[in-house]
Amino acid sequence: MIIDTHAHLYYPEIIKNLDEILSRAKDAGVEKIIAPAVDLESSKILIDLSEKHEMIYCAIGIHPCDVNKFELDIFDEIDKLLSHEKIVAVGETGLDYYWDISNIEKQKTFFRLQIDLAKSYKLPVVIHTRNSTQDAIDIINSKYDEDLRGQFHCFSGTESELDQVLNLNNFYISFCGNITYKNFTGNNLILKAPVEKLLSETDSPFLPPVPYRGKKNEPSYIIETLKKISEIKEFDHNSFMKIIYNNAYKIFFN
């Protein structure tokens, strides 16, 4: 079985076709889907979807690209939702220096507060890093203790940054469908990352793997990304799948 640890299911065009998308996911062997929110509205939508569909779980929080829409009191509202039984993580949070670098300090403040929420609820934190991996690692280190766990999703850092994440107990990384593209240059990262530190994700509807490039990504396509990772690592595919599943279960469902 497979756990898609990162699929954005709150888009209207996905919700409209959700029954079909979930059916295809089940046929592909996907057992659970964790859907991360980006703001308060998507957090509420995902909680509602998780109540209607057994296989959907959610992470709720404020994405770094959305911090300008809110002030700190938004976390009073997020806090009220975090005890819901289908919430398995805080996020998607983190830092993004690609789209907007005018609000870096506010992004860092929101990230720190969401780490604190994750620790207080004993939940993992789902971390977005775009052109910002080292700063995110530094913030995690400043908040780190053995109770803190998390996922650096769609990892695109350097080998040095990967080493730093691998040195953190209870932290994992995941790769997306872009690893199947001809222009992908990060095979060294995949080779270096121990299987015991990897999670599976699609980042749907983004980054669809080959042969689905050009379409909207969905959880059923996760098979292609996992095949590619096991091929690059020359790791027995069945054994690889079992370890990846156990990793996801350990961080999100234990």
pLDDT value, residue 234: 97
pLDDT value, residue 95: 98
pLDDT value, residue 23: 98
pLDDT value, residue 192: 98
pLDDT value, residue 107: 98
Query: Do 164 and 139 meet the contact criterion of CB atoms below 8 Å apart?
Result: no
Query: Do 7 and 218 meet the contact criterion of CB atoms below 8 Å apart?
Result: yes
pLDDT value, residue 132: 98
CB atoms under 10 Å from CB of 23, counted, come to 11
pLDDT value, residue 56: 98
**Sign of dihedral through CA atoms 38, 41, 43, 49?**
negative
Span 67-78, pLDDT tens digits: 999 999 999 999
Query: Do 190 and 229 meet the contact criterion of CB atoms below 8 Å apart?
Result: yes
pLDDT value, residue 38: 98
Residues of the chain with pLDDT under 50: none
pTM value > 0.95: yes
Query: Do 210 and 197 meet the contact criterion of CB atoms below 8 Å apart?
Result: no
pLDDT value, residue 171: 98
